[in-house]
Structure 1
Amino acid sequence: MARQSPLILTTLLSVIATATLVTGESKVGICYGTNSDDLPPAFAVVDIIKGNHISKVRLFNPNPPTLKAFKGSGIELMIGVPNENLTYISTGGVDAATEWLKTNIFDIVPANQVKYIAVGNEVLLRDTFYAEHIVPAMKNLYQALKNQDLDGKIKLSSPQASSVLESTNPPSSAVFADSSLSVIRPLLAFLKETGAPLMVNTYPYFAYASDPNNVPLGFTIFSSDASPVQDGGIKYTNMYEASLDAFVVAMEKEGYKDIPLTVSETGWPTSGGPGAEPIKASVYNNNVIWRALGGQGTPKRPHIPVEVYLFDLLDENLKDGQEFEKHFGIFNLDGSTAYSLRFN
């Protein structure tokens, strides 16, 4: 390992020490991406998760062998509807939604193990062809759940990338991009009506990696000496909280002040790019965990807790994109941790 600055090491040790004092129901889960050709068997993965006292997992698609491994494990699940399934569920009506839920989820795992269904993932960034089908699919799935008295137990949302926002610096200037409004407005109305959170994927690392000469590293990894951003009466000491409040502000400008946030993805890579190394990943993720476990909200909404799913359980060597995309794994293939981290 490369020599680390005393500041980073001090920050890490402080966060870990603080995290040991936090108790209560966990607001922290982990994403289990499977875009790899060397993953352990699904049952071994479940053992890794349970062995580290992780109680919430996000699965990006309803792969039957994976779901079978989680059945009866006591692990609460967020299960994704693949983007390519949205058209079928949207155009097929409630019957199609009911059949999709039965075949892909409820025939394999009990409904009481499912907390969220994530309808698509970053569709407005990756697969705009399916954008018009997001909310109609959600409405059909909601009615299918309601017909089974599950609408109050399983919440539906659709994870969005930060690219649906524009003018985010400072956070008080944030608005939803014009190109996203035709989807975002009915989505927010649906979330408000059903009591579900807005799911967001946020990665301060991406901002740093895209411009390491001008984006302060300290502001992205919670360093105590980072220059704060003053936004009116609010002082932001890190990009993570600033990015979340940008979503809060954008929702308020659309007339929605109380829709909670769930961070459906965030993390820091250990290799493959500038600043990508285990010690920095440890500092970043421990800070995120500490805030979630403490029930801490954002500077703008300090008393509304933010639930978080860290990305990623294991490295994914088949992912497209830049090299660092393949190195977000928090655990090694043998189940050992890639760096120091506390989930409870």
Structure 2
Amino acid sequence: MATLRFGCVLLAALAALLAAAAGGDPGKIGVCHGRVGGNLPAPEAAAALLRSNGITKARLFLPDPAVLPAFAAAGIDLTVGVPNENLTFLSAAGPEGALQWLRSNGLAAGPVAGRLRYLAVGNEVLYNNQFYAPHLVPAMRNLHAALASLGLDGAVKVSSAHASSVLASSYPPSAGAFDAAQMDVLRPMLRLLADTGAPFMLNAYPFISHVGDPANVPLAYALGASDEPVVRDGALAYAGLFDATVDAVVAALEREGFGGVPVAVTETGWPTAGHPAATPENAAAYNGRMAERAARGVGTPRRPGAPVEVFLFDLYDEDGKTGAEFERHFGIFRADGVKAYNINFA
């Protein structure tokens, strides 16, 4: 039994090292910094706020020239989004055009390049931006080639963030399967991820699943706070939708022959207003659980030894967001830097 336990410890340590080598440290929580707001603090203040709370990873949704140098100077590792509208150029321009894009956005050299860990090429393209779908993988390939020409391909991984709707089946998690209509894009993308050691990026929002179907997604299950398992899948049990969603993606990856590709959750969070379930207490419970599991380096039932890298959405409320009222209330901090609720990132 001692030998078995020692072997499990070694496997868990190896999984953590492999995940770190893929571009990030899964043992630390990251935070998204959306900028669709009119009352946002200066980038230097945002960077200082992150560091003062022990947060050293951030996701930016575009290469914002005001934010990048401030965050890099503060020693924050960067996941930088490549906007969907840039994909047609990057697809057609080849590696030289991609290199030009990196240089023009300050990502090719200097302190920013030194802190760059991921390029998230496009955001939820297969969900609501089908026009860009044919350009997605060529753009990813060109950016990877451009990074390789700079000697940065080992430190910077290229992927793309997907909505959970990329799955055609997710229940039970072992039945996870990608949408067949998207496989012409997904198959070459998965091959690229596997070949370059990059993760499959997922945006997962149990809150939105609860809002859309409260009868089948109870609040406690969405929060990951069920006292008893809600879903049993063979020998595996799930008390929270987050784990079930990640494992459905893992099952889909395995189904396509890419079980070695890690999963990184590039957005998840819980709002504080705009819906009866959107309260500071629920946000503290959900986001606090995400931070705690990242600190402990826990995996999921299907991959217990593989920590999941997670980025919480969002640093501040964004009053310029469109859509449902709750979309404007995901901020973990108020504009004055005070926490919107009690949460520990240690």
Same fold (TM over 0.5): yes
Which SS does the other structure have where 2:299 is aligned?
A: coil
Picking from 225, 249, 268, the partner of 1:223 is: 225
Alignment of structure 1 residues 164-243 onto 2, 5 Å: 164-243=166-245
Distance 1:126 1:73 in 2: 35
Residue matched to 2:9: none
5+ residue gaps, structure 1, are: 1-23
- Is 1:63 aligned to residue 64 of structure 2? yes
Structure 2 residue 157 is the aligned partner of structure 1 residue 155: yes
- Please, which of 301, 304, 309 is the counterpart of residue 302 of structure 1? 304
Task: Tell me the distance in 1 between the aligned counterparts of 2:80 and 2:244.
Answer: 28
CA distance in 2 between partners of 1:166 and 1:111 (Å): 37
For 2:174 and 2:266, locate their aligned partners in 1 and report how far apart those are by CA, in whole Å.
22
Distance change in 2, residues 1:174/1:66 (3 Å): same
**What is the match of residue 50 of structure 2?**
49
Tell me the SS of whatever aligns to 2:267: strand
Shift in CA distance, 52/160, structure 1 to aligned 2, threshold 3 Å: same
The alpha carbon displacement at 1:274 in A equals 2.9
Contact 1:270 1:276 in 2 (8 A): yes
Which residue in 2 is equivalent to 1:342? Answer: 344
> Following the alignment from structure 1 to structure 2, what is the Cα–Cα distance between the partners of residues 86 and 230?
41
The answer to whether the aligner puts 1:132 opposite 2:134 as a matched pair is yes
Which residue of 2 is the match for residue 293 of structure 1? 295
- Shift of the alpha carbon at 1:25? 7.5
SS in 2 for 1:342: coil
1:75-131 CA distances to partner (integer Å, 9 max, x unpaired)? 100011000001101101111100001111236743211111110111111211001
- Misfit runs of 4+, over 4 Å: none
In the other structure, the counterpart of 1:5 is: none
CA contact (8 A) 1:27 1:306 kept: no
Give SS of 1:215's match: coil
Contact 1:202 1:265 in 2 (8 A): yes
Residue 217 of structure 1, CA deviation: 0.7
Residue of structure 2 equivalent to 1:98: 99
Equivalent position SS for 1:255: coil
**In the alignment, which residue of structure 1 is the partner of 2:90?**
89
Range with greater deviation from structure 2 (69-78 or 210-219): 210-219
Query: In 2, distance between residues paired with 1:65 and 1:83?
Result: 20
Query: Is the 8 Å Cα contact of residues 67 and 109 (structure 1) preserved in structure 2?
Result: no
Count residues with an aligned counterpart.
Answer: 321
Q: 1:86 and 1:47, CA in 2 relative to 1: closer, same or farther beyond 3 A?
A: same
Is the CA contact (8 Å cut-off) linking 1:218 and 1:226 kept in structure 2? no
SS for the counterpart of 1:120 is strand
Range with greater deviation from structure 2 (87-96 or 287-296) = 287-296
* Contact 2:26-2:294 within 8 A present in 1 as well: no
Correspondence for 2:333:
331
Paired residue secondary structure (1:329): coil
Q: SS of the counterpart of 1:133?
A: helix
Q: Which amino acid aligns with 2:49?
A: I
RMSD: 1.4
TM normalised by structure 1 equals: 0.90
Q: What is the CA distance between 1:27 and its match in structure 2?
A: 2.6
- In structure 1, the residue matched to 2:4 is none
Structure 1 CA distance, aligned partners of 2:31 and 2:157?
18
Kindly state the Cα deviation for residue 226 of structure 1 after the two structures are TM-superposed.
4.8
C-alpha spacing 1:83/1:25, structure 2 compared with 1 (3 Å): closer
Structure 2 counterpart of 1:7: none
Partner letter of residue 266 of structure 1? T
